[in-house]
Homo-oligomer: A and B are copies of this chain.
Amino acid sequence: MLILQKQIKLIQRPTGTPTKEDFEMVNAPIGDISEGEMLVKTVYISVDPYLRGRMNDTKSYIPPFELNQMISSGVVAQVVDSKSSLFEKGDMVLGSLPWQEFTIAKDNTVRKIDHTLAPASAYLSVLGMTGLTAYFGLLDIGKPKEGETVVVSGAAGAVGSIVGQIAKIKGAHVVGIAGSDEKVKFLIDELGFDAAINYKTQDVAEALREACPNGIDVYFENVGGEIADAVFPLLNNFARIPVCGAISSYNNEQVDVGPRVQGYLIKTSSLMQGFTIGNYASRFGEGAKDLATWLTEGKLKYEETITEGFDHTIDAFLDLFKGSNLGKAIVKVAEIEKY
C-alpha cells in the first residue's frame, strides 16, 4: 500500500518578505526503512526567523535551502517503526528534519528526548537551540554583571524572552523592547523584566534613556534596524553587544542603511560580536544543564505560540515577520501516541 504524506518545498527564493507563493505543499510517498533507520512521525516543527536567510542563495554559516527541495528545521518527532537497535517505537526524538509529516531518519541524525522531564515542545524552545542561543549569547559574549543594565530587543520572542530572564537571574537591570502593549505587559508582569518599551508606539531613544538611567552595559541584538540605532548612543564604556539576529532587515531588498557604529564603539571601547549557536556545540551540555535547572526551579518561564496543523506551517513562518508571536513559534503536527 502506497501511503502518501504532505511535504513543504521551497519553489522560488523570496524577494523581500516571503509569501505563500514561494512554497508548495505536495504529496509524496513515505517509503520504506532500512537497517539503522527509523520511520518517525513529525510532532512539533520549529519555525524560526533565521530560516529566512537560508532561503536566499548567499553564503552564510549554513548552506542555503535548495530550490524544489523541502525546508528543514528543528523537529520533535516520535518513532513509529524502527530498524535501529538504539530507538524503539514510541521514543521521542529531536533532530533537524524536513518539513513533512513522516521522515525516514538514520539513527545517528536524531537524539532521544525525555518528555517526562519537560513537555516535548520545550526541546524546541527553552531546552533546545533557542534556550542555548540565549544562554551562550548572553553569558559568553554579553557577560552581564550584577547591577548592570541589559537591554534586549525582540524581547517577547523566543530567544529574547529567555535572554531577559537569564539576565534577571544574574542580577541585572533588564529592559525589553517589543512590538505591542500586550507584549510589554507580559515582559514586566510574567517574566519580571524591570521595564519594557513598545517600539511601535513609543520613541525608543527617549524611552531607553528613561528606562536606562545608568546607560546600557549589554545590548542583546535580535532585530537590528532603527531600534538598534537608538541603543548605540546610550552605551556605557566597555559595553557588550551579542549580535544574534537582525530580523528587521531579513526581508530588505535594498541594502539596510543606518548610522555607522564605529564612532560609538571607539568612544566607549565597546564590543559587538555576531554568533550562531553552532559555535558553542562543544558546550551544549553545560548550557542545557543550567537551563533545565532554572526551569525546574521555576526561575525560567517560557511561552509558546503554537499553530495547529501541518497545513498551517507556512502561515506560522510568515507570521514571524508580522511580529505576532509571543515566545517560541511552533507548529503542532500530531499528537504524541502512547504505545
A interface list, Cβ under 8 A from B: 53, 59-61, 221, 224-225, 228, 237, 243-246, 249, 255-276, 279
> What is the bound-complex CA distance between A269 and B276, given in angstroms?
7
Determine if A273 and B274 form an interchain contact, defined as CB atoms under 8 angstroms apart. Answer: no
Determine if A273 and B276 form an interchain contact, defined as CB atoms under 8 angstroms apart. Answer: no
- Minimum CB distance partner of A59 in chain B: B267
Contact of A265 among B59, B255, B263, B272 (CB under 8 A): B272
Determine if B273 and A271 form an interchain contact, defined as CB atoms under 8 angstroms apart. Answer: yes
Closest 3 CB pairs of A and B: A265-B274, A246-B262, A266-B274
Determine if A260 and B262 form an interchain contact, defined as CB atoms under 8 angstroms apart. Answer: no
> What is the bound-complex CA distance between A60 and B276, given in angstroms?
32
Known: A243-B262, A258-B257, A260-B224. A237 touches B271 (CB 8 A): no
For residue A265, give the distance in angstroms from its CB to the closest CB of chain B.
3
Determine if B269 and A61 form an interchain contact, defined as CB atoms under 8 angstroms apart. Answer: yes
A-B pairs with beta carbons under 8 Å apart, 9 shown: A53-B267, A61-B268, A245-B266, A246-B263, A257-B257, A261-B261, A261-B272, A265-B272, A269-B279
Determine if B274 and A61 form an interchain contact, defined as CB atoms under 8 angstroms apart. Answer: no
> What is the bound-complex CA distance between A265 and B60, given in angstroms?
11
Q: Given the complex, which residues of B lie within 8 Å of A257, measured CB to CB?
A: 257-260
For residue A252, give the distance in angstroms from its CB to the closest CB of chain B.
9
Q: Given the complex, which residues of B lie within 8 Å of A273, measured CB to CB?
A: 265, 269-272
Q: A255-B259, A265-B274, A271-B271 are in contact. List 15 more A-B contacts (CB 8 A).
A: A53-B267, A61-B267, A61-B269, A243-B265, A243-B266, A246-B263, A256-B260, A265-B273, A266-B274, A269-B276, A269-B279, A271-B272, A271-B273, A272-B272, A272-B273
